[in-house]
Amino acid sequence: MEKRKLGFAGPEVPVICLGGNVYGWTLSETEAFRQLDAALDAGLNFVDTADVYSRWVPGNKGGESETIIGKWFAKTGKRRDVILATKVGMEMGENKKGLKAAYIRQAVEESLQRLHTDYIDVYQAHKDDSETPLEETLGAFNELVKEGKVRYIGASNYSGARLAEALETSRKNGFASYVSLQPHYNLVERQNYESDILPVVEKYEVGVIPYFSLAAGFLTGKYRSKGDAEKAARGAMVQKYLNDWGFAVVEALDELAHAHASTPARVALAWLLAQPGITAPIASATNERQLADLVEAAKLKLDTESIQKLNSVSMQKVAADALAG
């Protein structure tokens, strides 16, 4: 599978990142083990998770995804075959959130224990913590890198301005710098990344691994009506796309999938891979067909006309909102 650099100083990673958010949620431990085996066999060895996955599920407390991945490492002995990314900062319980140095130190030890590993390849700030000085957060991350518990650091959900400030803070203090950013970016969520974040990641040569790359499944064509959404675990996340504009995007994906003998999911991911700054879109899978889409998307190269068609239909709402504003 093709690989790209994860930031100027970061490792090379496959062009698709397997999302571990479904482990302990919509995939059981047994199913997750089966998926991880199949993904690794297909060359998809970049896995993203977080300590908070999947705390939102009734009965869960967080750490379920990391625990499942850690058990798989223990069972297979394949830890060093995987590029592992996880995150810290979302609420994990009382007084367990944010990016203060003491909490980062506590959280990384808990993640390492759950993951059955002594190092994390990419340790990421899950969201910006405006109440903690960047010097404190980055200083804590820097210590983990020096100790070998973390190889590289990344950020998620940072604005362009805060990302630039963080990178300059690392430069000024000689700290390890963020090599990657996880923004919310896909064919139907474009404006914030393209206007605010893209100039910064290009200037500082930061890798981009967008989440919700398939818009919570909407871009796969799974949701064709409000009724479809009401039946699904992620249905509430796609409500805002269930309109004429959203369905026009799906129709364009359908047409291009037919033209390329492909699927809407593969086309949507191939479009993302063709965008400036993108290193590896994150996407999860809950069955073999969806996993095959992730693997095959890396091989699909869209022609200029196809990309322009998707750009045109996806930007119609952005243009309409701009006129309305």
Instruction: Give the Cα separation of 224 and 316 in Å (integer).
Output: 19
Quickly list DSSP for 76-140: H--GGGSEEEEEE-S--STT--S--HHHHHHHHHHHHHHHT-S-EEEEEESS--TTS-HHHHHHH
**Cβ atoms 123, 88 nearer than 8 A:** yes
Instruction: Give the Cα separation of 179 and 156 in Å (integer).
Output: 11
Measured at the alpha carbon of residue 202, what is the angle toward residues 266 and 85, in degrees to the nearest 5? Answer: 60
What residues contact 102, with CB distance under 8 A and at least 6 apart?
none
What would you measure as the largest C-alpha separation in the chain, in angstroms? 56
**Strand 120-125 versus strand 83-88 pairing type:** parallel
Per annotation, catalytic residue among 53, 158, 178, 223: 53
Catalytic: 53? Answer: yes
- Please identify every residue annotated as catalytic: 53
